[in-house]
Amino acid sequence: MKKSRHLLTAAITTALVAACSDPTDSNTLSLPDTPAATQSEAQTEAATPAAAESTAFEVAEVSKFSSPWAMSFLPDSRLLVTEMAGTLHLYDPATDAKGAISGVPEVSHVAQGGLGDVVLHPQYASNDLVYISFVERDDSGLGAAVARARLVLDDAGGGALEDLQVIWRQTPKQSGDGHFGYRIAFDAEGKLWISSSERKEFDPAQDMATNLGKIVRLNDDGTPAADNPFPDQDDVAAQVWTLGHRNILGMAFDGAGRLWAHEMGPAGGDELNLIIKGENYGYPIVSNGDHYDGTPIPNHDTRPEFRAPVITWTPVISPAGFIIYDGDLFPAWEGSGFIGGLSSMSLVRVAFDGETAQEAERFDMQRRIREVEQGPDGAIWLLEDGTRGGAGWLLKLTPSKTDAN
């Protein structure tokens, strides 16, 4: 485990990337400057907080992975780590040992997708079930899928996915290579939540004949939950909990059971949303950003029938990964959200107050952060994005010894 050469301070990045979404998670590679988002009572553009003076944590570079995307801790403190090309690792931080997990389905690795999320079933200790998301291809194009399987571990530090079954698919498939979303979360009742981005196609986010641009809520076997808001429509609509989303790359439940999700805006207007049953979040009809060709999109406050974001960011942070912290190692951060930043190369702390939130701190990580996870001991773990250079560090954040003096 290699310590970084410096302590990262609780300083805010003052020279942010111009108002543009991250090139690996946007609709185009050439992004114009955009005006700041309009503020209203229901939505506040995140301001840059004043820099804190004390150091907050130390960063240890633990191990490198090839284009890592997500991770999840097992009960024995080992990690499952996904790599976009299709490898699922079993990693032991105590020994730095990496073992392969076989049985991963065929994965299409494209610019913004491949092997994606990995999450344990809430009753994993008794049923050994894990859920993975990935990009699959058929004659009609590409789309995200979610599968569940039994994780069978061996004595050699590896294992296999057995009895794998695909339980959900994006529909319809598209020709493009971006905006899959495919984050997975479970709530306290054991319901399965999946973020399904709009695949750079805009209009499907408002089309109830597709599950693109939606957050879906399912039983753990992939069937639509009975009390979803659109139960009398066809099978696709029956999955839907909310609609009007763009590219959702993080979901987390707070201590009161509220679901929060962030999504990348177009040119400007990254969002943090409180997810409410049956609500329409407006994309592409409204946004606090504009189209990449410079065409304006009306702001949320022009269409009050759509649910406005709680926070918007212009300049963008390019959010990826998300936890709401409930550990003991950083007691001052109990209940705070932590969002990784790609183009902003940051870790953003969000302070919640019931159904409101605001950016509280922004830590300059000096690298693109793809994933955020909380460890069993309360440490915060990050995955550095490797979609550009190919390799990304697994990082462990622990309290700074300076603060203890």
Q: Which of 67, 107, 147, 126 is nearest to 371 (CA)?
A: 67
In the block, residue with structure tokens 């090309």? 85
Q: Distance from first CA to last CA of the chain, Å, rounded?
A: 24
Q: Is 179 tagged catalytic?
A: yes
User: ∠319-322-325 over CA atoms, to 5°?
Assistant: 140
Q: Which of 31, 1, 2, 38 is nearest to 17 (CA)?
A: 31
Edge-first strand listing for the sheet containing 214-218: 181-186, 192-196, 214-218, 240-243
DSSP structure string for 27-73: S-S-----PPPPP-SS-EEPP-PPPPSSEEEEEEEEEEEESEEEEEE
Per the residue annotation, which of 89, 121, 179, 245 is the catalytic one? 179
In the block, residue with structure tokens 């939606």? 214
User: ∠177-217-200 over CA atoms, to 5°?
Assistant: 20
Q: Which of 177, 158, 169, 178 is nearest to 88 (CA)?
A: 158
Residue 370 and residue 317 in contact, taking contact as beta carbons nearer than 8 Å: no
How many residues are present in the chain?
A: 405
Alpha carbon dihedral 322, 192, 269, 116, in 10-degree steps, equals 60
In the block, residue with structure tokens 């009398």? 232
In sequence order, the β-bridge partners of residue 97 are 92
Torsions phi, psi for 187 (to 5 deg): -95, 180
Could you give the 3-state DSSP secondary structure of residue 385?
coil
Q: Which of 112, 43, 50, 51 is nearest to 314 (CA)?
A: 43
Token pair listed for 141: 């194009």
Could you give the 3-state DSSP secondary structure of residue 213?
coil
CA 206 – CA 314 distance, rounded (Å): 24
CA 212 – CA 30 distance, rounded (Å): 25
Q: How far is CA 304 from CA 42, 245, 256, in A?
A: 10, 16, 26
Q: Residues with catalytic annotation?
A: 179
